Amino acid sequence: MPEAYIVDAVRAPTGRKKGSLAHMHPADLAAHPISALVERTGIDPNAVEDVVWGCCDTIGGQSGDIGRTAWLVAGMPEHVPGVTIDRQCGSSQQALHFAAQGVMSGTQDLVVAGGSQAMNRIPISSAMIVGTQFGFENPFIGAKGWDARYGTEDVNQIKSAEMIANKWNISREEMERFSLASHQRAQAATENGWFASEIAPLEGLDRDETIRPTTTLEGLAALNPVNEGGVITAGVASQNCDGAAALLVASEQAVKDHGLKPRARIHHMSVRADNPIWMLTGPIPATKYALQKAGMSIDDIDVFECNEAFASVPLAWMQELGVPHEKVNLYGGGIALGHPIGATGARLMTTLLNVLERTGGRYGLQTMCEGGGQANVTIVERL
């Protein structure tokens, strides 16, 4: 089977709630890493065959196939198409998978993959909320087959995060220590310049503004839980923010024809799912499945990126699979860097490539929990 290579990856800095990127049109935000990617790689944009883009809540400025719109807003050739993918939080990781699959099938040679989310302008779950305001059905409750199978209880990620903490006996203090580490690691990566090569400055912002370097355990302990009597607080949850990232995926022939120097090879791609009410447990069976399919073990992986939707998610995943925290999210995660849903998968891979290169690791694994109980897993080999 033909190989698929990641030539380069670039992202916008994450903009906090009501922050520096809050005023941007979603298409301008999405176009930014595309422009930066083309400039960095020196690729002729006329040679790109498709743009596969992740984005959720595709209403307003994110509607109308933003994958196509972003390419045009970036000033790129009109003959290049684009498509928008919604696999919830894993949308842009799935976009990378589809791009790589197009290359590995032999039907494409150069594909841009990525994703974006303008969460200040279009808050999380806007499509669902606006739909119900117009009298449309709830996507989960009311369908006879759904109600018969899962009942009429609310499908709620905070509830899922609480359930995970209870099942895996993860205390609030343990989650707060994990949260503190996320901010400390992200701040250290910023101060050491480790993010500089992956961030394309935007609107005068050249670093992630979601990181809170003054975070303390005392401050986290003082926060009220989201649900009375629960253990999930805002301090152990990912931040809503604005973000975008893009990657160039190429075939071996395209690498030769365009004189490209790839950074990594796609070693494995898969996606699995778990109970949709639990929702956030998917990375556990998905990682087990991916390692089995790839003929690998946890010890074969040098570094991991597991999205920090809530601290309980990667903590349960690490506990279940025996992954040491010393190998996970070395530059921090969604708790410190934010979780711009449609962009996070591409952002994680962009960071994973940098971590592999700085540490000299060979294999990196990325996974994340996704709506519907799903989880993508990507294993890359540094070149």
- 32, 97, 183, 339: the active-site residue: 339
* Catalytic residue check, 97: no
Identified catalytic residue from 55, 56, 306, 369: 369
Considering the candidates 32, 55, 56, 89, report the single residue annotated as catalytic: 89
Told to judge if 89 belongs to the known catalytic residues of this protein, a careful annotator would answer yes
As a whole number of Å, the CA-based R_g of the chain is: 20
339: left (phi over 0), alpha (psi -120 to 50) or beta: beta
Burial class (CB in 10 A: 0-12, 13-18, 19+), 285: middle
How far apart are alpha carbons 86 and 309 in whole angstroms? 17
Identity of residue 259? G
Q: Is position 306 annotated as part of the catalytic site?
A: no
Cβ atoms of residues 345 and 56 within 8 Å: no
Pairing of strands 110-118, 242-251: antiparallel
CA atoms lying within 13 Å on the CB side of residue 225 = 14
Catalytic residue numbers read 89, 339, 369
